[in-house]
Chain A
Amino acid sequence: MSIRVLRPGLLTTLQDHGRHGLQHVGLCPGGAMDPVALALANALVGNEAGEAALEITVIGPELSFEEDTLVALCGAEFKGGFPHNRPVLARAGSRFNVGRAVRGARAYLAVAGGFGVEPVLGSRSTYLPGRFGGFEGRALKHGDALALRDPGASARFARLKKTHDATVRWSAPPHTLPDREPILVHVLEGQHFASFDPNAQRAFFDTVWKIAPESNRMGFRLAGPALVRVEADEILSGPTALGTVQVPANGTPIALMADHQTTGGYPRIAEIVSADVPRLAQLAPGGTVHFARCDLGMAAELRHHGKERLAAALRGIAWSYGE
């Protein structure tokens, strides 16, 4: 009883809310690049917000369902015709081809009751550099069979099965997708901001940065002007965080994403606020971003606004289910 992988897509991995509390031994929390889309997908199928789902990147997989299950796809929009942002009853024997992303870069496919893989260090997230977690510590391949954990655990699945055609006419609003590019991302000045040349300081905020092809779950490389420091002295390796923007000696900034290293020896020019990291995660290589300065007060406002929007969407889903 499972979901079979007919084609894996570009990079399809299981990701949940991440494994926390291990950064002191060098392990980053990891987890979904866009936890907002993950939470919406999970809510649509009646799961906890941080349950593991398939993180689908730019080119989606083709899947075949071997039993009736409730699934939902949230985040990036794909052109395969799979309904977005709504619960979908996948019948035994049906096939879905997710297709290619047309807006955004990452989508989450959640199934009612979650996937049947064992947590590693408290999480079902795939940590690719360490080859553990998720499905055998790796991205999905052709022929993989993903077990469903507990489809009966979802009251929403049970409720939807009882409706006469098992479809809904409502959908949850997309949250983190860019309406247009460049997207605007808010940052705090990093510890070493002042050590950059005044022209580099200006360029950081004036430039429309392009996500370089060599970007991945560890970090996004930002193509644009080289950022030069006043003195090219070495920085003592220090801690980093999700959203830290560091600048190696070649002057190309790197925004640290979900699978980032926990320490780094490059100067930190900026720190992306937590509310904007999921939006950045929705940019594919070639996508564009510019940065605006903010302070901790504004970071908190953006965070609260994001949380309120998500809470409202979750209430809307509950209401649609007649709860």
Chain B
Amino acid sequence: MAKRPIQPTAVVPLGDCAAYFEFADKLDLEVNTFVQRLAAAVQARARPWMRDVVPALGGIALHYDPDHPEVHGDAMEAAAILVQECMKETAAEGEDAARTVEVPVCYEREFAPDLEEVAKQVKLGVDEVARLHAAGEYRVLMIGFAPGHAYMSGLDGKLAVPRRAAPRALVAAGAVAIANELTVVYPYAISGGWSVIGRTPLTVFDAGREAPSLFSAGDRVRFRAITAEEFVALQK
């Protein structure tokens, strides 16, 4: 495969306390991998004026203190220099240090309100939909929408369904849902427009935990099918 250099497609201020460095304006898994590594490299520099480094689907946002003495009155320039330095040591290919998070999921009817509808839409049995979903190898592309809410790629193309026409007013905490080519796990009970095909007993975001978020951008994720009994046991 021919290598193409990954360069910013846009560098824009997000107000006067943050800037967005965009490397793709369409979903591109190779760029996303690069973005995760770049974010890690920038985070590792931990400059005193940096407030947060946020990897998104196609780029990273740097949040900063624009009046910190070390940015000499031009925080966006300081951020651009830092990102450029980090780009030199960041590759899209090569050794992958990502950890794997295993997520138990119960696909039984009481936890999967949309499973039958999805099965009908994709013309497969409900067991086959659950089997295909649990067999996939997923990757966290971005955390957003809500604390700990992970957007993951790797969904089997046979399971691609559009978002629900009418979002559910309340999706259960831990609900595992799909739409288009992605899957998500809802961190707590909120309204959502994706099709819910299972639920995990794990707590996705817990403010009282040392690492509050179960997922980080860049993680590999595997789902493991469990029974309703196992779900209850794990919940305790």
Contacts and interface: CB of A to CB of B under 8 A. Distances in A.
B8 interface: no
A25 interface: yes
A103 B57 CA distance: 42
Contacts of B20: 191, 238-239
A20 B50 CA distance: 11
A239 B67 contact: no
Nearest to A186: B16
Interface stretch (A1-9, A241-249, A281-289): A241-249
A273 B66 CA distance: 12
Contacts of A268: 14
Nearest to B21: A239
B40 to A, nearest CB: 10
A274 B65 CA distance: 11
Contacts of A26: 143-149, 187, 205, 213
B123 to A, nearest CB: 26
A243 B15 contact: yes
Contacts of A10: none
B33 interface: no
Interface stretch (A40-48, A91-99, A296-304): A296-304
B142 A263 contact: yes
Given A23-B63, A238-B56, A307-B67, A129 B146 contact: yes
Contact of A239 (B43, B61, B216): B61
A158 interface: no
Interface in A10-34: 20-27
- Chain B, interface residues (CB within 8 Å), range: 35 or more
A241 B64 CA distance: 11
B13 A296 contact: yes
A271 B52 contact: no
A304 B16 CA distance: 12
A232 interface: no
A300 B16 contact: yes
A239 B54 contact: yes
Contacts of A191: 10, 12, 20, 22
B66 A300 contact: yes
Of the candidates B16, B22, B146, B205, the one having the most CB atoms from chain A within 10 angstroms of its own CB is: B16
Of the candidates A188, A239, A271, the one having the most CB atoms from chain B within 10 angstroms of its own CB is: A239
B51 to A, nearest CB: 5
B14 A236 contact: no
B53 to A, nearest CB: 6
A130 B144 contact: no
Given A24-B55, A191-B10, A272-B15, A241 B63 contact: yes
A65 to B, nearest CB: 30
B124 to A, nearest CB: 27
A262 interface: yes
Contacts of B188: 130-131
Contacts of B125: none
A133 interface: yes
Interface of B: 10, 12-18, 20, 22, 24-27, 39, 43, 51-61, 63, 66-67, 73, 76, 142-149, 151, 187-188, 190, 205, 207-208, 212-213, 216-217
Q: Which 4 A-B pairs have the closest CB atoms?
A: A263-B144, A239-B61, A25-B213, A299-B16
19 contacts: A22-B52, A24-B217, A26-B147, A127-B207, A130-B188, A130-B205, A132-B207, A191-B10, A236-B25, A236-B58, A239-B18, A239-B20, A262-B54, A263-B54, A271-B13, A273-B15, A274-B15, A299-B16, A303-B16
Interface of A: 20-27, 120-121, 127, 129-133, 188, 190-191, 235-244, 261-264, 268, 271-274, 296, 299-300, 303-304, 307
Given A25-B205, A26-B147, A242-B17, 13 more contacts: A22-B212, A25-B212, A27-B205, A237-B144, A237-B151, A241-B18, A263-B56, A263-B145, A271-B13, A273-B16, A296-B13, A296-B76, A300-B66
